[in-house]
Amino acid sequence: MYSNMTWQIIGDGAIGCLWAANLLNCGQQVHLVSRKNNIPQRINYTNLQGEEQCYPCSISQCLSDTSSPLIVCVKAPQVLQALKQYRSQISEQQVIILMHNGMGCAEQVAQLLPQNPIICATTANASLLSAPFNIVQTGLGVTYFGPFNCASRNFASLLATLNQALGNCHWCEDIEKKLWLKLLINIAINPLSAIFQISNGELSKAVFQDQIKQLIKEAMQVLKRLDLKFDEQLLLSTINGVIDATSNNYSSMNRDIFYKRPTEIEYINGYLLKKAQQLNIETPLIRKLYNEIIALESH
């Protein structure tokens, strides 16, 4: 499909740098797009074994070309803004891969760029940005990619390289179900860990487990009406599996509140609340936590 391809990654955060370093590590050309000034031309990466690597990398404030794939790794509230900013440098054939927490962005991107192939991705890989362009990988996990629109159905071949870079990458025709699963995990973990400023592991305490059960019970009513089949007990054990696997980590929303940055709440609880409202379903605890995060964000 591509002869001389450069992976263009928008977003120099933990996930953007993680993909950049791992693609560079397997010999791919990468161009990282950053909004920073004084940009170095390298990424420092500490892998799961604690080995430090320094990868020379092309980094600038612009896209490098109008044909190779774009991996958008900014947080959900910044996706549309970032693509609007680079719109004149994006061609209609260019495939756009969206990788962030939450749902609702792909619809916005499809309105902005109606001809472009759009792929949605959700990853369980975790990394920490210890300083600008310095990342430490903290967890290895599965990444699912799948078509959001008809134009992106032929792009499964991209997976071979992505899989070579980070492993455990899968093409999934029913990506919507995977995105919902991640959204439910985020609904259970992110607001509680952010409001109480606790690590994910603290959520295994009984007081939080009761709230997580309530959150999932409320979400299940919406899922049923949308004909999305999830088993409540399996969902709870998946969520507790993530809590255990990331017990020492602080969730992304916890860090956003801590560092007084905008959170992804609108694309997590907010997305579910919109669906619930359309269906006339009350989801009081999901709404309460949504309101509390909005209040914390404005402090």
Q: How far is the CB of 76 from ligand PAF (least distance, A)?
A: 11
The answer to whether the Cα torsion of 278, 282, 283, 284 is positive or negative is positive
Select 172 or 188, whichever has its Cβ closest to ligand PAF. Answer: 188
Tell whether residue 252 is a contact of ligand PAF (CB under 6 A): yes
Q: Which of 34, 246, 269, 283 binds ligand PAF (CB under 6 A)?
A: 246
182 is catalytic: yes
The dihedral through the CA atoms of 55, 56, 58, 60 has a sign that is positive
Tell me if 125 contacts ligand PAF by CB under 6 A.
no
Rounded Cα distance, 168 and 144, in Å: 8
Give the phi and the psi of residue 52 in degrees, each rounded to 5: -95, 135
Binding region for ligand PAF (CB under 6 A) out of 103-111, 151-159, 162-170, 241-249 = 241-249
Is residue 129 helix, strand or coil? Answer: strand
The total of other beta-carbon atoms located within 10 Å of residue 287's CB is 17
Does 22 bind ligand PAF (CB under 6 A)? Our answer is: no
Residue with tokens 């070579």: 164
Per-position x/- string for 167-206, each x denoting binding to ligand PAF as judged by CB under 6 A, each - no binding: ------------------xx--xx---------x------
User: For ligand PAF, which is the closer residue by CB, 41 or 197?
Assistant: 197
Q: Tell me the C-alpha distance between 43 and 28, whole Å.
A: 14
Count of residues touching ligand PAF (by CB under 6 A): 11
Least CB distance to ligand PAF at residue 249 (A): 5
Span interacting with ligand PAF, options 74-82, 207-215, 244-252, 286-294, rule CB under 6 A: 244-252
Name the active-site residue from 36, 84, 182, 224.
Answer: 182
Binding span for ligand PAF by CB under 6 A among 38-46, 223-231, 245-253, 278-286:
245-253
Task: Burial-class residue 40 by CB neighbours within 10 Å (0-12, 13-18, 19+).
Answer: middle
Sign, CA dihedral 150-151-156-159, equals negative
> In the complex, what is the shortest distance from the CB of residue 79 to ligand PAF, in angstroms, rounded to a whole number?
15
Asked if 46 interacts with ligand PAF (CB under 6 A), we say no
**Residue from 44, 78, 116, 249 in contact with ligand PAF (CB under 6 A):** 249
The angle, 0 to 180 degrees and rounded to 10, between the axes of the packed helices 269-278 and 284-297 is: 140
Strand ranges for the chain from DSSP E: 6-10, 29-33, 42-46, 52-56, 58-60, 70-72, 96-99, 118-123, 126-131, 134-139, 143-147, 169-171
Q: Which residues are identified as catalytic?
A: 182
Residues that bind ligand PAF (CB under 6 A): 101, 185-186, 189-190, 200, 242, 246, 249, 251-252
